[in-house]
Structure formats: structure tokens, C-alpha cells
Amino acid sequence: MNFQPNQLKNIMHYVIKKGLIDKIEPKFFADSDIIQKIFTSIKKYYRGFGSIPTTAALWMELNNGEDAMDKDIMMSAMKEDELDEDYLEDMFNRWMTANLAAIEVHQAIDEVRSDSYKPSISVPEYLGLEQQDDEPDRILGRSPYFDDNIFENLPTILKKMCAKFDIKRERDIFFISVLTVLSVGFPSIKGIYWNEEIYANIYSLIIAGFGSGKSAAKFALQILYRLKLEEKKLYNLQMEEFKKNGSNGDPPKEKNIKISGDSSVASLFQRLEANGGSGLIFETEADTIADSMKMEWGNYDTILRKAFQHEPIATSRMNYTIDIEQPKISLGLTGTPKQMTTLIRSSENGLFSRFLYYIFESKEEFLNPFVGQNKIEFFRNISHDVYEITKYYEEITPEIKLTAEQGERFTKFFNEKGKELNILHDEDILSIVKRLGTISFKILIILTLLRNHENRNIFEPVRDALYVSDIDLDIVFSIIKTSVKHTEIVFVNLSKQENVVIKENPKELLLNFILSQNEFKRKKVVDKGKEHNISPATVDRLLKDLLANNKIIKEGYSSYRVNK
């Protein structure tokens, strides 16, 4: 397909208007010597000065050599025709497709001018632009996975469990869920964090559409199989003893570490009291607990907020009072985006910042449901090992600690995360960073206990303190790097109460664009910002924040370099 000079002229203006000068090669205009020469001069000037040349500057650039150009010809080429935007975009895409086809088959430009050849790379991919989906606001599965290195370096029992999932999304979902379930198993083990006693109990929320694979979470509950058998056995023995004594006094309270998400406040307190202050609420449909919280008798939002850092909770009725001095509640939920907004209506709700989030949309194909092992049987078998580990830490209660050097690393890591997020979201998200620090320490408690049990020497005396390993500290940093991305997605979208979509943060897209450069001009960032509806004033604030945080260095007037 040959393009006429007038078409190429309008394509050139489209390229300039859309800020694509750096992406387009002059040879793409080979059908017109005049347009090719003009575009070459414009691109040369743009790379040198970061702006489009004025008519006078272009005239000087074009005549800076032997092959001078008639000024009227130049002026005619620089006059943009008034054409429909959709028509221009269509013409540009056809022109780019022909050029990409030519590149791919390594032939001269004018030898490949056919609509019949389709290059394997698309125009948006070549230009470095996002592909436009039918629903442009949606990420469609682009939320990040946990790094494979995490799973290669986990304590052996966790590594074995996670290895049962071949699909990355399912592996990630199970990993978060099993950490949540394990977190209820060590009620006697603590560490000191911000001068307070902190236990392992985690809150997690996995968000995805129906049929997306989040059901992998339910297998995590199976690691409590042996514990539930033992709880039932103990209760039956206590009841027999109670009946032998003529049923005098108060009957024994049945201990059950798993607490139903639709419990009333009264029932929740009774279960916690029977369990010595501990309990796991784990629901694969988040609206189970969300529906309960709508009821006057089921609204324990305040209880959950206090229990996250083990603050005392209490309830009083006419005939009894229950005080839980140090509640140790673990909370694991999975649900759809709409269920999430029913549970947490705003990012300003204190409960929001207390969760470890994982959010995604899946495009997985339908897989054969008749292959693979019986996972329930596998996890019920491994529940015996989990039970032995939890019993071991009933008998010894070491305090979990970081070395001074690890404490400095931990502090530096979260300071940097706070600065990064502050650039993107101002101060609205900083409470989340602080709480992610708490969640990180809780995960460190779990990993340290599992690794110590695996490497223990029965002939050595029991230690009063266990120190976190550098391996586990690196694992937690990697977990948080990914979790921050998921939390941001939830944070950005939580304000949409109806038809919630998973939407990328425009400022983050612009920040990633800036940091992907080596050197750049302010104008380049301003033009990129316009693509994401970001004003020049906001761009300037972003550049100022990046300078203040030493992410970029100013080289000259409107010129910057990324501090790699």
C-alpha cells in the first residue's frame, strides 16, 4: 500500500501531536522525500532541545547543508489539514502496520505495501503503549504474582504445601491462606514491636471474580484437621468426666479454634473465651461476614480493629461479662470486588489497612478437572506435622527477635516504601505502610518458628529468644513488595461502590514511565502525562518529589537523569 505525500504529511502531524516522535523512524516516511527530510529535522531538533522547532528554527535546520528546501514547500508541509480524528488514527495504524511488516520481513519499504501481511508485533506494542481491551479500565490479570524465589526458600513444610499448586495464582492464594491459618497456631509466641507484644495472627483478603481460582484458599483449612480431631477428643473426655461427677457445676466448654463468620458478637466472645482468647475466622465467601456486620448484633468491626494489635476487648450482658485481655484473632476471607466494598466501604475505614490483600482477575482457560492428586487427603496428612509443631511451641515460648542490623534493614525498607507510595498517593496510604510493617513482623514470627522447628537440636537447651534468619527477612520483603501493588489496586478502586473495576493508578503508570528512562526532558513527561489525564502541575509536583527523594537528578534546564 503506497501512501501519498499529503497523507504522510497528516500522519507526521498526528505523530507530533500524539508525542510519538521518539518512537517513529524517519525511514517510515520513505514514500515522500520531502516529508522524510522534514521529519528527520524535527526529530533531530526534538532530541536536542526536547521541544518541537518553530518554523524559523525548522527552516534553518532544513537549510543547514547543500540540499536546501524551498520555503513554500516546507510551509505547505507544515500546514495541518483539518481531518476527523478517527480517520487520522485509522490511517496512522494502517501506515504503521505496513512499516512493521516491512521491518519484520527485512525488505525495502516500498516492496511491502500490502494489507494482506500482518506483522506479529502490534502497533501499540511497538510504540510501547498498553493494548486497549474491551474494558480499558481493567487490569485483566496483570496484578503481580509472588516471586518464585519466595517458594524456593521457604521452610520445608511450607515449601511442600505450596508445591502442590502448579498454577501461580492458585499457589499465591494458597500461600496467603495457609499463612493466615498457621498464624492462629502459636498463641503463646510473641515478639516486641513498637514496645508492644505482637503475636502471629494475620488478616488476609483475597479478591477476584467468580470461578477465578480463589477456591485454592479452602485447602489451607485442612492443615487444622488433626487439631480439630484433638479438640473433639478432649471435649468428649471432659464431658465423660463431667457426667461421672453427676453433672455438677458448669459443663466443660468445647474448644474450637475455627469460628464461624456469621457469629453474633456474643457468640464470638463465647468462642474466644473457650479458646483462651484465640480464634480463626476463615470464610471463602466474604459476604458471610459482611452480612453479619450489617446486623446490629453482628457488627464486630471494632472488635477486629482492636484485635489486630491485641488490644483488650470486652462485652457485657445482663447475666455475664467477658473480658479478653489479649485477643488473638486470625481472619482469612476470599470474595468478589463487590463483596469487598460491602465489607470495607472506604479506605478511611480503620479495618482497611489491617489486611494483607491479593486481588486479580483471571483469564485462565478451563482445565481438565479429572487429573491431579487428592489435595484434601494430602493436606489432612500434613496436618499431623502441623499439629506436632504447634504442640512443640506450647511447651516452649521463645521471644522472636531481629538483630540490630536486621532492624535497620527493616526500618530502611519500610521508609523507602513509604516514600514511594507518598509520591503516588500523598499521605492517604501511609497508614497502610505502617500496618504492613506489623503484618511483616507477624509473618516473620511464623517463618522463624517453622524454620527453628525444622533445624532444632533436641540435645541443645531451649533458648529464650529466636532470631529471624536473613533468608526469612528477604522472603518477607519480597512478599511485601508484591502485596503493596495489590494493596494499591484496592486502595485506588475502593471509592467505586458500584460495579467495582480493577483500575491502574495513572500516577503510578507515569512514575514507571519516568523511572524507565535514562535521561529525559520535562516536556516528554508532560506529554506522557496528558495520555493519562495528568495535568502539567501534577507532573511538576511528581518531579519535585522524585528530586527530593533522590530518584532523579536535574542536569540542566528542564533536563533530568534517572538515578539508577
- pLDDT per residue of the chain (564 residues) written in tens, 0 to 9: 567 888 888 888 888 888 888 888 888 888 888 888 888 888 887 777 777 888 777 877 777 655 677 777 888 888 888 777 777 787 888 888 777 766 654 444 344 444 444 555 555 555 555 443 333 334 434 689 999 999 999 999 999 999 999 989 999 999 999 999 999 999 999 999 999 999 999 999 999 876 666 789 999 999 999 999 999 999 899 888 888 887 777 888 888 999 998 888 888 999 999 999 999 999 988 877 776 666 544 457 889 999 999 999 998 876 778 999 999 999 999 988 878 877 887 777 788 899 999 998 765 566 677 777 789 999 999 999 999 999 999 989 999 999 999 999 999 999 988 887 777 665 666 778 889 999 999 999 999 999 999 998 776 777 899 999 999 999 999 999 999 989 888 887 764 443 444 455 677 778 888 888 888 988 899 888 888 888 887 888 888 888 887 888 988 878 898 887
Q: Comparing C-alpha atoms, which of 403, 527, 414 is closest to residue 468?
A: 403
| CA of residue 468 relative to chain centroid, distance | 25
CA angle 498, 502, 126 (to 5 degrees): 140
Buried b (16+ CB within 10 A) or exposed e, 231-251: beeebeeeeeeeeeeeeeeee
Tell me the β-bridge partners of 554: 560
How many C-beta neighbours within 10 Å does residue 112 have?
20
The matching CATH number, chosen from 1.25.40, 3.30.429, 1.10.10, 1.20.272, for 506-562 is 1.10.10
